[in-house]
Amino acid sequence: TAELSRPTSTRIFVVANQKGGVGKTTTTVNVAAALAAKGLRVLVIDLDPQGNASTALDIEHSEGTPGTYEALVEGTALDRLVSPCPDFPALTVLPASIDLAGAEIELVSLVARETRLDRALQAHLEERERAGDRIDYVLIDCPPSLGLLTINALVAAREVLIPIQCEYYALEGLGQLVRNIELVRAHLNPRLDITTILLTMFDGRTRLSAGVAEEVRRHFGDKVLATAIPRSVRISEAPSYQQSVLTYDPSSSGALSYLEAAREISEAAAPVKES
Task: Please report, as ranges, the residues that interact with ligand ADP according to CB under 6 A.
Answer: 20-26, 52, 144, 200-201, 229, 231-232, 235-236
Instruction: Provide the minimum distance between the beta carbon of 236 and ligand ADP in the complex, in angstroms, as a whole number.
Output: 4
Q: Order the strands of the 137-141 sheet from edge to edge.
A: 83-85, 88-94, 42-46, 137-141, 11-15, 159-165, 193-200
Taking the least distance from each CB to ligand ADP, the nearer of 50 and 65 is: 50
Q: Which does 263 bind (CB under 5 to 8 A by kind): Mg ion, ligand ADP, none?
A: none
Taking the least distance from each CB to Mg ion, the nearer of 10 and 52 is: 52
Instruction: Provide the minimum distance between the beta carbon of 38 and ligand ADP in the complex, in angstroms, as a whole number.
Output: 20
Instruction: Provide the minimum distance between the beta carbon of 25 and Mg ion in the complex, in angstroms, as a whole number.
Output: 3
Asked if residue 112 lies in contact with residue 119, where contact means CB atoms within 8 angstroms, the answer is: yes
Distance, in Å, from the CA atom of 128 to the CA atom of 106, rounded to the nearest integer, reads 29
Distance, in Å, from the CA atom of 120 to the CA atom of 100, rounded to the nearest integer, reads 16
Q: Point out which residues bind Mg ion (CB under 5 A).
A: 24-25, 52
Q: Which does 49 bind (CB under 5 to 8 A by kind): Mg ion, ligand ADP, none?
A: none
Asked if residue 69 lies in contact with residue 41, where contact means CB atoms within 8 angstroms, the answer is: no
Taking the least distance from each CB to Mg ion, the nearer of 11 and 19 is: 19
Instruction: Provide the minimum distance between the beta carbon of 196 and Mg ion in the complex, in angstroms, as a whole number.
Output: 17
172, 194, 166: which is closest to 182 by C-alpha?
A: 194
156, 127, 195: which is closest to 45 by C-alpha?
A: 156
Taking the least distance from each CB to Mg ion, the nearer of 48 and 125 is: 48
